Chain A
Amino acid sequence: MAIIRDMIPAFELFQPTTVEDALALMAEHGEGGWVLAGGLDSYDWFKDRIKRPEAVIDLGGIDELKGIIDGQDGLEIGAMTTLTEIVRHERVRSEYILLADAAEHVATPQIRNQGTLGGNISQDTRCWYYRSGWACYRAGGNTCYAAAPQAMNREHAITGTSRCVAVNPSDTAPALVALDAKMTVRGRRSSNVYDAEDFFIGPATDITRMTVLEPGDLLTQIDIPSEWANAHFYYEKVRDRGSWDFQLVSVAAAFKTSGNTIEDARIAVNGIAPFPVRLDAVERLVIGAAVDEALAVEAGEISIDGSRPLKHNEYKQPMTSNLVRRAVRSVA
């Protein structure tokens, strides 16, 4: 396994104060550069000496990337806004409690004080083969060690795989998908806005990345549209212990309801695929339907259609099914 040392390899540290400066530095250093947000994912990589960037570009001094702006069309959240700020923000709590719930489930209070929303959704997978330095597909190699019959793959994916079976570790990602958030990504020459579900990409598209962010790209802002404000929300995260752990499976759902009937819905599950999975089939089933136990059960059953467990993670199928069932049942 990886040799963990106390000292991280030397790198050149840059602390820009504007987005333009950060983008210029990223362009200058290319793949040798490393963008540092809260540092909670980054320093693990550095200390394990798996990632050895030449230059680290610390975004901590860029004020324009911090804070939450109350807009008429929703919230504009800077990518460097800490998870604690999100958890405590009044409007987030009153209108988008789904996001506050998800952010509050991230690790520990200390980590939420330091961790940022942009960093949380951009963090790399926690597959231990990958993080231990094995030259797997995601690391640029040619093998998925976690998919082998002899592998330890209890926490890995049951759907959405393509050679790599690692899962997306973010707690806030499914909530942002359920809220139909928009991600602003800036490069030196262009700026693009992605729907949250398109921001995350699977290994079939690019096996070395979990998001659309390429070297030189910077996630600057996450917009939460007002369309889903004050909807009926459900968030649940299952993990091995009650605190400070990554999800095994989590569900985030937003429902617009009229009485007992679901008028619109967005449901996303994380921990079962290399990206947060939006459950289109479940949404089609429940939209326009009156919620009862039969509907909830059926929603749970179809949520795992097409999934295929590995040797040690078959439990994720009933777990996913149950979480989706509970999400739908919560409307009643």
Chain B
Amino acid sequence: MGRWLDFESNPWDQEVLQGISLELMYLAIVLAVLFVVGHMLWYRSRGFSEHEETADVQGSVAGIPERIVRHTLPSRIFHWTMGASMLVLLITAFVPLLGLEFAWVTIHWIAGAVLILTIIYHVIHSIVWQDLWSMMSMGAKDFREAMGHFRHLLSSKSPEPEKPGKYPFDHRMYHWGIIVTSLAAIVTGVFMTLRIKTPFWEPDAYYPFVDQAVAGMNEVGEPVITLLPGATTGLVFVIHGIAGVALIIMVAAHIYFAIRPDKRYYLWGMIRGWIDREQYLAHFDPDKWSVVDGSIQESPPGGASADSTVSAPRVDD
């Protein structure tokens, strides 16, 4: 443990947990690079197409427009704002540790605040205007589908996997991963930000509101100190650090898959907002992601065929 966690001695020579060690950051960077390079080599060795595959669509396809809206403008603005803030957070967190020094703290907490605001917006937008469940849910059929995909990736003898709905299983898994990791980083980050100077509050290392809630006030009207900053803060720093290094790997993987030629239609969907009919038919199952005149609706997670003429059209992403 001592290799991955950082301890410092206090004046009584007691070891106090401080955070994660630099080695963990280097490990995350190495793992991210290994994953990207390894995936690239393995993909090539398996003979998978390095180019985007499109369906050969002759003539018109009834009910399917030429352009299919994948992400609405508000969703795209959210995505890129969140992505930019995440990149700024990672750069300001780790680049100074790699030796390029600059005044990073203010940039870091402002980027964190932007991330929190974008996530609040995303949650409200998803609940009120989007089909939140379609991005979050994972049923037994999804897992079976994912296993089929996995088997096909490992063995060329395995049958072609089923096409997914709008959000493939791996996207949903990634989304859940990002939710857990980001929330861990955000909650601990807010606690850490309370200890630094911002225009909004006086810094306080001791979290007096927590102490007040736990132990009340002392005889002179100050919160009783119950949480020694050394130990408690160390845990906050460890969680923040682990979330941070996990995000290095996750963001690297996300960018890698976004710019891979065979997955480029996802990137274009997030830039332009739409994919074309050929991409849609090549990569998605119309029964699971049905499209009617440019309006799009997501089938229930089991992948049951949706009757788009019956279901109320709903714009989601």
Choose among B103, B222, B237 the residue that contacts A162 (Cβ–Cβ < 8 A). Answer: B103
Choose among B11, B16, B233 the residue that contacts A1 (Cβ–Cβ < 8 A). Answer: B11
Q: Would B197 and A135 count as touching, CB distance under 8 A?
A: no
Q: Could you tell me the distance between the alpha carbons of A143 and B102 in the complex, rounded to whole angstroms?
A: 20
Of the listed stretches A92-100, A144-152, A252-260, chain B binds A144-152
* Chain A residues with CB under 8 A of B204: 147-149
**Residue B299 CB within 8 A of the other chain:** no
**Residue A142 CB within 8 A of the other chain:** yes
* Chain B residues with CB under 8 A of A147: 203-205
* Chain B residues with CB under 8 A of A150: 206, 222, 225
* Chain A residues with CB under 8 A of B286: none
* Chain B residues with CB under 8 A of A1: 11
* Chain A residues with CB under 8 A of B285: none
Q: Would A149 and B206 count as touching, CB distance under 8 A?
A: yes
Q: Would A206 and B101 count as touching, CB distance under 8 A?
A: yes
**Residue A132 CB within 8 A of the other chain:** yes
Choose among A135, A144, A163, A204 the residue that contacts B230 (Cβ–Cβ < 8 A). Answer: A135
* Chain A residues with CB under 8 A of B206: 148-150
Choose among A143, A162, A202, A205 the residue that contacts B229 (Cβ–Cβ < 8 A). Answer: A143
Q: Would B104 and A204 count as touching, CB distance under 8 A?
A: yes
Q: Could you tell me the distance between the alpha carbons of A140 and B230 in the complex, rounded to whole angstroms?
A: 12
Q: Could you tell me the distance between the alpha carbons of A201 and B106 in the complex, rounded to whole angstroms?
A: 16
Choose among A2, A3, A140 the residue that contacts B18 (Cβ–Cβ < 8 A). Answer: A140
Interface residues as binary, B217-245 with A (CB distance below 8 Å gives 1, 0 otherwise): 00000100100011001100100000000
* Chain A residues with CB under 8 A of B293: none
* Chain B residues with CB under 8 A of A308: 197
> Smallest CB–CB gap between B198 and chain A, Å?
11
Choose among B11, B18, B103, B105 the residue that contacts A142 (Cβ–Cβ < 8 A). Answer: B18
Of the listed stretches B2-10, B120-128, B136-144, chain A binds B2-10
Within 8 A of B (CB), among A97-133: 132-133
**Residue B195 CB within 8 A of the other chain:** yes
Number of A-B contacts (CB under 8 A): 77
Within 8 A of B (CB), among A276-309: 308
Q: Would B205 and A141 count as touching, CB distance under 8 A?
A: no
The size class of the interface chain B forms with chain A is: 20 to 34
* Chain B residues with CB under 8 A of A141: 8, 16, 18, 230
Choose among A3, A135, A144, A149 the residue that contacts B9 (Cβ–Cβ < 8 A). Answer: A135
**Residue A134 CB within 8 A of the other chain:** yes
> Smallest CB–CB gap between B197 and chain A, Å?
6
Choose among A133, A143, A144, A148 the residue that contacts B11 (Cβ–Cβ < 8 A). Answer: A133
* Chain B residues with CB under 8 A of A149: 202, 204, 206, 208, 222
Best-buried of B9, B101, B106, B203 by chain A (most CB within 10 Å): B203
Q: Could you tell me the distance between the alpha carbons of A102 and B237 in the complex, rounded to whole angstroms?
A: 42
* Chain B residues with CB under 8 A of A161: 197
Q: Could you tell me the distance between the alpha carbons of A134 and B102 in the complex, rounded to whole angstroms?
A: 25
Q: Would A205 and B102 count as touching, CB distance under 8 A?
A: yes
**Residue A139 CB within 8 A of the other chain:** yes
> Smallest CB–CB gap between A304 and chain B, Å?
16
Q: Would B104 and A133 count as touching, CB distance under 8 A?
A: no
Q: Could you tell me the distance between the alpha carbons of A318 and B233 in the complex, rounded to whole angstroms?
A: 35
Within 8 A of B (CB), among A25-60: none
Q: Would A163 and B8 count as touching, CB distance under 8 A?
A: no
Best-buried of A132, A141, A202 by chain B (most CB within 10 Å): A141
| Minimum CB distance partner of B17 in chain A | A142
Choose among A3, A132, A140, A148 the residue that contacts B8 (Cβ–Cβ < 8 A). Answer: A140
**Residue B189 CB within 8 A of the other chain:** no
Q: Would B16 and A163 count as touching, CB distance under 8 A?
A: no
> Smallest CB–CB gap between B50 and chain A, Å?
42
* Chain B residues with CB under 8 A of A132: 11
Q: Could you tell me the distance between the alpha carbons of A68 and B33 in the complex, rounded to whole angstroms?
A: 52
| Minimum CB distance partner of B104 in chain A | A204
Q: Could you tell me the distance between the alpha carbons of A140 and B234 in the complex, rounded to whole angstroms?
A: 12
Q: Would A143 and B205 count as touching, CB distance under 8 A?
A: yes
Q: Would A162 and B197 count as touching, CB distance under 8 A?
A: yes
Q: Would A140 and B196 count as touching, CB distance under 8 A?
A: no
* Chain A residues with CB under 8 A of B208: 149
Q: What 4 A-B pairs have minimum CB-CB distances, sorted nearest first?
A: A135-B8, A204-B103, A133-B11, A143-B229
Q: Can you show 30 pairs from A to B with CB atoms below 8 A apart?
A: A2-B11, A132-B11, A133-B10, A133-B11, A135-B18, A135-B230, A139-B8, A141-B18, A142-B19, A142-B237, A143-B195, A143-B205, A143-B229, A143-B233, A144-B195, A144-B205, A145-B229, A147-B203, A148-B229, A149-B202, A149-B204, A149-B206, A149-B208, A150-B206, A162-B105, A163-B195, A163-B196, A202-B103, A204-B104, A206-B101
| Chain A residues packing against B (C-beta within 8 Å) | 1-3, 132-135, 139-145, 147-150, 161-163, 201-202, 204-206, 308
5 further A-B pairs in the complex, CB-CB below 8 A; given A150-B222, A204-B104: A1-B11, A133-B9, A141-B16, A143-B205, A148-B206
